[in-house]
Amino acid sequence: METGESQGPAMALGINSSDDHHEISNLENLTNAHASMIKESLVAQIPASSDEFQFPPGTFFTAATRQVGLDMRNVYRKALIKNGIVAIELKFDDPASQFLVDLVAAMQFKADKHSDTQGVLWDVKLNDAGVLSTGTGKAARSISHSLNEFDWHTDGAFETKPTRFFGLHIIHPDKMGGGVFRVARAEELVALLSPRTVATLNNSWFTLRVPPEFHKGVSTVQGKVLEIDPVSGDALVRYRRDIFLDPPSSNEEASAAVRELMGRLGDAEAIGEAIPAIVFKENVVILMDNARFLHSRTEIKDPRRWLRRIRFHDSV
Ligand SMILES: O=C(O)CCC(=O)C(=O)O
Ligand SMILES: [Fe+2]
């Protein structure tokens, strides 16, 4: 329950009647319970080694129940917008990942379907058959349906409006040491590039191919790889190696800039940090800002590894 921060809960809710003590004391209890819920659900610090991602303070939570998790929607939303990454350990069973779907809506975000034939949830899991593509009229297999390494990218880089956020529900992590999920801040990438490449990427539009399994009516889109948010100054990136044309552009300098990126991002372990295994485990939900972070995964060793993904936007 939301209440004003500087007022008592009864005041904030506009309750002035002094005879309704019962209701007021219930509200106070609820508010206290809410405060302690937030305190208890915020895990102080996740230990990380030097190659592991250190979750910023206030980004790792536990949700004791589904309702507690949904009640925390505004806390998660703020943490995601501020830090670009949030992890929530679910202490309840959710085999169908319904919490992920409901949480995205509760946080006032808008989930995007994956393709014309697939809904808002996508199984990242070994799937030899793939999914039906409306682009080809045939089944198409995604990298996420294979056990292969998936090098650095952002999700939905081929969308007309690139995916801003995504969430993963870890159903079954790789228990054989593979499938390590890694993240890198867009700023880390920008710092690796020459100023000239940064300027070229910031000024160039590319034709990007939509992979058949994600077809939504068009086979190519026009997009920029890098943008600097005029308000926040954040570097925002959209990138996936296999969606560029060859050469990437008719402009030689733009093509050279993309090749420089490809050289930096070809190896899943080249940059960034691994999400520690103590976070990347069963029944944890990870929410990411897909423009401020890139991600990769190393080759999968455990064929039972299984994640469920949702992609979403700010509703405006
Ligand atoms: O398997 C993973 O850890 C990530 C997969 C992924 O990034 C994708 O399917 O877009
Ligand atoms: Fe991805």
- Residue 93: inside a domain, yes or no? yes
- Residue 66: inside a domain, yes or no? yes
Is 155 close to ligand 1, i.e. is its CB under 6 Å away?
yes
Higher pLDDT, 71 or 10: 71
Give the pLDDT of residue 141: 93
- Residue 181: inside a domain, yes or no? yes
For residue range 221-275, list pLDDT tens digits in order: 999 999 988 888 899 999 999 999 999 999 999 999 999 999 999 898 889 999 9
Q: Tell me the pLDDT band of 33, cut-offs 50, 70 and 90.
A: low
- Residue 280: inside a domain, yes or no? yes
For residue range 42-83, list pLDDT tens digits in order: 776 788 888 999 999 999 999 999 999 999 999 999 999 999
Give the pLDDT of residue 30: 55
Domain count for the chain: 1
- CATH number for the domain spanning 42: value is 3.60.130.10
CA of 181 from ligand 1 middle (Å) equals 8
Q: What is the pTM of this model?
A: 0.88
Give the pLDDT of residue 187: 96
Whether the predicted pLDDT of 93 surpasses 90: yes
Regarding beta strands 306-314 and 293-297, do their DSSP bridges make them parallel or antiparallel, or are they unpaired? Answer: unpaired
Q: Is 296 helix (H, G, I), strand (E, B) or coil?
A: strand
**DSSP 8-state symbol, 52:** B
- Residue 61: inside a domain, yes or no? yes
For residue range 132-171, list pLDDT tens digits in order: 999 999 999 999 999 999 999 999 999 999 999 999 999 9
Q: Tell me the pLDDT band of 24, cut-offs 50, 70 and 90.
A: very low
Nearest CA to ligand 1 atom 8: 144
CA of 272 from ligand 1 middle (Å) equals 15
Give dist(CA 69, CA 99) in Å, integer: 8
Is 307 close to ligand 1, i.e. is its CB under 6 Å away?
yes
- Residue 16: inside a domain, yes or no? no
- Residue 104: inside a domain, yes or no? yes
Q: Tell me the pLDDT band of 4, cut-offs 50, 70 and 90.
A: very low
Is 59 close to ligand 1, i.e. is its CB under 6 Å away?
no
Mean per-residue pLDDT over the chain, rounded: 89
Q: Tell me the pLDDT band of 19, cut-offs 50, 70 and 90.
A: very low
* Nearest atom in ligand 1 to 155's CA: 10
- Among positive and negative, which fits the CA dihedral 196, 289, 307, 86? positive
- Residue 8: inside a domain, yes or no? no
CA of 246 from ligand 2 middle (Å) equals 22
Is 181 close to ligand 1, i.e. is its CB under 6 Å away?
yes
Under 8 Å between Cβ of 201 and 315: no
Per-residue CA distances from 60 to 57, 119, 169, 274, 286 (Å): 8, 28, 14, 15, 9
Higher pLDDT, 18 or 10: 18
Per-residue CA distances from 15 to 3, 8, 30 (Å): 12, 10, 15
Give dist(CA 223, CA 172) in Å, integer: 34
Whether the predicted pLDDT of 96 surpasses 80: yes
Give dist(CA 134, CA 117) in Å, integer: 7
Domain that holds residue 143: 33-314
CA of 286 from ligand 1 middle (Å) equals 12
**DSSP 8-state symbol, 56:** P
| Helix extents (H) in the chain | 9-12, 21-41, 66-71, 73-83, 98-106, 186-192, 195-203, 252-265
Other beta carbons within 10 Å of 27: 19
Give the pLDDT of residue 18: 41
Q: Is 40 helix (H, G, I), strand (E, B) or coil?
A: helix
Expressed in angstroms, the distance from the first to the final Cα of the chain is 24
Q: Tell me the pLDDT band of 315, cut-offs 50, 70 and 90.
A: confident
Give dist(CA 37, CA 16) in Å, integer: 26
Whether the predicted pLDDT of 21 surpasses 70: no
Pocket test for ligand 1, best of 295, 300, 310 (most atoms within 8 A of CB): 295
Residue 71 makes CB contacts below 8 A (sequence gap 6+) with 1, 34, 37
Give the pLDDT of residue 47: 82
